[in-house]
Structure 1
């Protein structure tokens, strides 16, 4: 990597997979990729991780955020306060963080009802709380540079290309420097990241199609990538293998939804999820995956949907 070294900083998070990673790129102008988990423990972890590499918070001159989830932007405000770095994110992140909470609540309420969620207000509360947490960690005014997909920016003597990889999060970027990819939550070696995309906000029906577009973008650069530094899990070398695995996982997801719908005859996305997922209460994000998978199947043909009193029900094409 052009003789610069990458230092991995491990943060504890209170949900699976239990750890998240930020990366310090030691260069003439030190670069931090992602900002770890929130809270005082996260701040101390970041300080300790930088110190092990011979740096402190005030040394950071560039901060790249792959996506605005709290386990990746958790210490962004802390870094900005201490170091005043240039902060980079993909185009659209600032707008998403500035989302009006009343508009978000209205959209999620409508979509949760359409999906068949028994208690739509629970999803509304979850979405609004998530937005507020993300915004507290990464205040939108702290973002200095929004990068277009495919745009390259110089951070000191290092050039980073922003690659748009939606699906897990609509505005997620992977950052590429030469043969190295900082992947965020798009390429994780032990498992496929959840297709959260926008949750049940407007655009929820695009989640799986968007994930496939993100995999297309990764596949386009895979021949040139020698090492991947992910937001979770181990560092790895074979990006194409992970892309292939995730494509297969998405196809299995679609087939699971089709099978559940065949068994049920007619069902909402929520009912399909209940059928195919054990312990749905512990895995509420799976509803987002079912919504996106059923929409993809309908666009491809083979299943249809009708909406009555604001509730969408799917059935096999008759």
Structure 2
């Protein structure tokens, strides 16, 4: 399949410095049937990356017949409207995105404010978390209009893309709606932000919104679903194309377990709040992109009896059981 899958890279400001989309030419017929998986960043760099990739292949954006989206993070849906305007493709997106985009922004803000406050963040950090969450909701809605989606994909759905069978695997944890697209005849996985070779993706899931308490179990469910697939080649959204599928899934499971163990160790060593645990992990870096994972970890450890918690003056404090 490799010769008929073309990688499109755009730059991002976080490791490993790029995001990848993939152009599939399933039947080898060129512009007669092209499928694009994800749509890179919404900036000029993303637009240029698409233009240069299609030009190098002597293809045209208007020839895209199918657009498959793994999840609604900005670096994966950034050029959706451009592709839709140019090609009017059949658009596939995870079904739960539709409900997520229907989220009341005021209720989202209130929920995030409560979660961030109980995490022990100061007032400025709480308001920053709220702004990030609400801003992300509005930005994602703008980049991926629900009316542009033709097929809302559920876990296990199978469909045909220009003669190639595609199976959707709902793989939450990094992002609650995340889907990987599996091509069983080619043993290929269009993996989005899962099965990345350089590192385990952070457990963002629902951020600090409702559902953060389910994030760890969701990630494990995702890994179990991936384990059930017979994958030869992985085409990830970050890092290189690789054939180390089993190793990356096993590594991510081990990494998740080690992260939980280290969280217990941090609490045993005197960290009592989400902020304190996150600060120890981040050291001299900011905590804004790991705080959701820390909330998820502490909540999970509390629910499974490895830690205990109480709310004191509006802040949830943890101790070992």
Range class of TM-score, shorter chain: over 0.9
The answer for the alignment partner of 1:175 in structure 2 is: 181
The answer as to whether partners of 2:264 and 2:306 remain within 8 angstroms in 1 is: no
Match of 2:273 among 248, 253, 268: 268
Alignment of 1:1-318 (within 5 A): 1=1, 5-27=4-26, 28-119=32-123, 120-178=126-184, 179-221=187-229, 224-264=230-270, 267-281=272-286, 283-317=287-321
> Whole-Å Cα distance in 2 between the matches of residues 55 and 24 of structure 1?
10
The answer as to whether partners of 1:260 and 1:276 remain within 8 angstroms in 2 is: no
> Whole-Å Cα distance in 2 between the matches of residues 214 and 205 of structure 1?
16
- TM-score relative to the length of structure 2: 0.93
The answer for the alignment partner of 2:29 in structure 1 is: none
- Look up the SS of the partner of 1:243 in the other structure: helix
> Whole-Å Cα distance in 2 between the matches of residues 303 and 213 of structure 1?
22
Offset, 1:26: 0.9
Offset, 1:280: 4.0
The answer as to whether partners of 1:187 and 1:239 remain within 8 angstroms in 2 is: yes
Identify unmatched segments of 5+ residues in structure 2: 27-31
CA 1:160–1:4 in structure 2 vs 1: closer, same or farther (change >3 Å)? farther
> Whole-Å Cα distance in 2 between the matches of residues 206 and 85 of structure 1?
34
The alignment's C-alpha RMSD in Å is 1.5
Deviations 1:161-180 (A, max 9, x none): 11011111000000001200
The answer as to whether partners of 1:167 and 1:196 remain within 8 angstroms in 2 is: yes
- Look up the SS of the partner of 1:44 in the other structure: helix
> Whole-Å Cα distance in 2 between the matches of residues 175 and 58 of structure 1?
23
> Whole-Å Cα distance in 1 between the matches of residues 19 and 43 of structure 2?
14
> Whole-Å Cα distance in 1 between the matches of residues 56 and 70 of structure 2?
23
Offset, 1:4: 6.9
